[in-house]
């Protein structure tokens, strides 16, 4: 198993466990003992979103296509759609998050998992080193976007 990595978001560390695969939409996936992949948000995504207030699924368990909108999330920063990181069959959603999505904030790699999917991650995921490189390549643009949001809020 590859070692975990830590991506520094300014002064804020984003832990990246080495035992998972990562998608460019900042979700992780990990095989469960039963075989399907468990999917959740990376700590990088959680840090950008900050507090998650509300989560809703717009699909039932079943077949989904890559990048299909499957739900939406409301956070301290924004409300946005959630998109399937892989094509496959969603088996179940984490029922605990529907009543209390704070598990996403408190334990993104454990109790905060989002759903389980029967899918082949080949070709659509990165190992921890690849995901770290993806974050590094986009960090400057992300910082500019975040600073722009802060400036627009201060201008209001």
Q: What is the pLDDT of residues 124-138, one digit of tens each?
A: 999 999 999 999 888
Taking 70 as the pLDDT cut, the residues of the chain under it are: 1, 142-156
Domains in the chain, number? 1
Report the pLDDT value the prediction gives residue 26, as an integer from 0 to 100: 94
| Buried-state track 56-67, b at ≥16 Cβ within 10 A, e below 16 | ebebeeeebeee
Specify the pLDDT at position 45: 92
d(C-alpha 92, C-alpha 72), whole Å: 16
Mean pLDDT of the chain: 88
Query: In terms of residue numbers, what domain contains 103?
Result: 5-155
Q: Assign residue 63 the CATH number of its domain.
A: 2.40.50.100
Q: How many CA atoms lie within 13 A of 80 on its CB side?
A: 11
pLDDT at position 146 is 56
Helix (H) / strand (E) containing 55: strand 52-57
């Amino acid at each position: 198993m590859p070692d975990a990595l830590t991506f520094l978001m300014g002064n804020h560390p984003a832990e990246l466990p080495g035992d998972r695969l990562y998608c460019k939409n900042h979700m992780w996936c990990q095989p469960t003992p039963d075989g399907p992949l468990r999917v959740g948000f990376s700590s990088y995504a959680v840090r950008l979103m900050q507090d998650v207030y509300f989560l809703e699924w717009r699909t039932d368990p079943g077949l989904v296509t890559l990048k299909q909108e499957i739900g939406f999330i409301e956070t301290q920063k924004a409300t946005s759609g959630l998109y399937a990181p892989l094509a496959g069959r969603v088996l179940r959603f984490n029922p605990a998050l529907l009543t209390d999505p704070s598990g996403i904030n408190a334990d993104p790699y454990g109790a905060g998992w989002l759903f389980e999917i029967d899918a082949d991650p080949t070709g659509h995921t990165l190992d921890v080193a690849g995901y770290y490189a993806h974050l590094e390549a986009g960090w400057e643009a992300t910082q500019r976007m975040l600073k722009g949001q802060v400036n627009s809020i201060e201008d209001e």
